[in-house]
């Protein structure tokens, strides 16, 4: 009986949305909307798009439509009419446009998980205010102070997880490691609370790219329930830190929650509680998972490419060799000397970018390359449109870290965009770099490993991960000299 009711509701919603969309398009004064298919009512082409991403065939999904409709085409994704804009100029238009042309407002699923007032949704002066304050925690001067703490945390987690020779899943390990780093270094969340919240953050992240259907058992429903539990846990922490800030026990530089609580706008008013909670969830969910993706793919690549592995190992061992005495603590200067290791990471992010692309939303009716894009429609950019373009990167299918070393042909702006670009450049890119290099340094110098399934493919859910979780056989390195 319950299933029948759900089916009837879905049918009614589908018919209603189809009627409203048809009515809107027929009355619209917009004359030259891009060509394309809107797919099925309600779900549009969401299922096909997400299926292609899960199979790591997102670029093929795009190429089919670009071949049929051109580099600008329309569809419907995650419950909203969407225009895909592919290529360097498209990236520049989407990522470089001001907030009064394209806002950061996201599809309904992302809004419901992150909240309507998270950093992801802010515009104008409010966006600049919050982003500016948060950058104080992520600029190089501050990151230098995090290196020692990160190094110790990585060693502790690896020692705890890898006590004996055994098999581990790298995806699970890296997600837990980056989560612990965010809790410990950025938010000062105690160990008991972080353990309780961990699974809920995983569920929330899975929900942001799910179908916009909120029925018991669906990914969105599970994600929203997880969000409720996260909010229930974080509100008491916020209240306590707000009180400690007022008493002078804490300062705004203690952690990011305290930073957000201490912000005052132009009218000397604090941020809304919903905005602080939403920004906390956004940074936690998005930040720790993107770093975990890159760190996992580094281990995956080193497992499969002996030449790259040897070069990384040589660089990391040379860093250890240059240390004075018995010092075993990583330094900021050593991080800067990991040039080849980071070029490997850069090339991985070119070929398998953490973000396949992202959404913006039109504030008013707008125009691009002669096409009209109605107010309220989503606009989507895709990194593969430039990352795998042979006119920008020579032999784009070849893995070549040297393309990021002393480039004779500079990469055009808005072409290499693993961290976004323009107004929307990721504020955590340097934090992710230090996280990744610290982890790979400790992993390579301490352990030897082999991938258990060389046929393991990459899947996106929505970040790119080895489909089986990357199980490896691992043991302590025999010779540390």
Q: Which residues are annotated as a binding site for heme?
A: 426
CA dist 220 and 216 (Å) reads 9
The residues that bridge with 238 in the sheet, in sequence order, are: none
Q: What is the number of H-type helices and E-type strands within the chain?
A: 17, 12
Note whether 281 and 204 are within 8 A (CB): yes
**DSSP reduced 3-state for 448:** strand
Binding site, annotated residues:
426
- The DSSP H or E segment spanning 254 is none
**Residue (of 313, 338, 368) closest to 435 by Cα position:** 338
Beta bridge partners of 102: 362
CB 307 within 8 Å of CB 227: no
Whole-angstrom distance, CA of residue 294 vs CA of residue 419: 12
- The Cα–Cα gap between 42 and 78 comes to 8
d(CA 385, CA 400) in angstroms, rounded, equals: 19
CA 204 from centre of chain: 13
CB 201 within 8 A of CB 179: yes
Burial class (CB in 10 A: 0-12, 13-18, 19+), 31: exposed
| Range list of β-strands (E), 433-479 | 447-451, 458-460, 464-466, 471-476
Among 410, 406, 403, which residue's Cα sits nearest to residue 351? 403
Cα separation, 329 vs 158, in Å, equals 15
205 backbone dihedrals φ, ψ, rounded to 5°: -65, -40
């Amino acid at each position: 009986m319950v299933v029948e009711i759900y089916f009837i509701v879905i049918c009614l919603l589908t018919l209603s949305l189809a009627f409203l969309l048809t009515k809107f398009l027929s009355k619209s004064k917009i004359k030259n909307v891009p060509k394309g298919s809107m797919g099925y009512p309600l779900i549009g082409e969401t299922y096909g798009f997400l299926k292609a991403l899960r199979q790591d065939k997102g670029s093929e999904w795009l190429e089919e439509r670009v071949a049929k409709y051109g580099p600008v085409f329309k569809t419907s994704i995650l419950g909203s009419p969407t225009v895909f804009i592919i290529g360097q100029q498209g990236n520049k238009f989407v990522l470089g446009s001001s907030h009064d042309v394209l806002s950061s407002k996201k599809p309904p699923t992302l809004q419901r998980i992150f909240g309507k007032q998270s950093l992801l949704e802010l515009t104008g002066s409010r966006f600049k205010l919050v982003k500016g304050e948060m950058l104080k925690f992520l600029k190089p001067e501050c990151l230098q102070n995090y290196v020692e703490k990160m190094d110790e945390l990585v060693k502790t987690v690896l020692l705890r997880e890898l006590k004996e020779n055994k098999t581990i899943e790298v995806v699970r390990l890296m997600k837990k490691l980056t989560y612990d780093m965010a809790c410990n270094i950025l938010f000062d969340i105690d160990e008991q609370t972080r353990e309780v919240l961990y699974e809920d953050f995983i569920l929330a992240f899975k929900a942001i790219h799910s179908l916009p259907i909120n029925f018991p058992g669906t990914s969105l429903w599970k994600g929203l329930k997880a969000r409720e539990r996260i909010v229930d846990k974080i509100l008491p922490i916020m209240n306590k830190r707000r009180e400690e800030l007022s008493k002078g026990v804490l300062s705004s530089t203690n952690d990011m929650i305290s930073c957000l609580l201490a912000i005052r706008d132009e009218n000397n008013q604090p941020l809304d509680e919903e905005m602080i909670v939403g920004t906390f969830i956004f940074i936690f969910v998005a930040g720790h998972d993107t770093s975990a993706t890159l760190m996992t793919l580094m281990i995956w690549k080193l497992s499969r490419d002996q030449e790259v592995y040897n070069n990384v190992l040589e660089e990391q061992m040379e860093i250890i060799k240059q240390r004075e005495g018995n010092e075993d603590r990583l330094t900021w200067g050593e991080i800067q000397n990991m040039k080849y290791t980071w070029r490997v990471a850069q090339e991985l992010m070119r070929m398998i970018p953490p973000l396949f692309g992202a959404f913006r939303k039109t504030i008013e009716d707008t125009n691009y390359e002669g096409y009209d894009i109605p107010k309220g429609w989503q606009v989507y950019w895709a990194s593969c449109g430039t990352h795998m373009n042979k006119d920008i990167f020579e032999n784009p299918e070849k893995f070549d870290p040297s393309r990021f070393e002393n480039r004779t042909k500079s990469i055009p702006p808005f072409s290499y965009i693993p961290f976004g670009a323009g107004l929307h450049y990721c504020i955590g890119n340097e934090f992710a770099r230090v996280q990744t290099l610290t982890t790979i340094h400790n992993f390579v110098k301490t352990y030897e490993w082999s991938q258990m399934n060389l046929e393991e493919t990459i899947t996106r859910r929505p970040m790119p991960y080895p489909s089986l979780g990357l199980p490896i056989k691992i043991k302590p390195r025999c010779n540390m000299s």
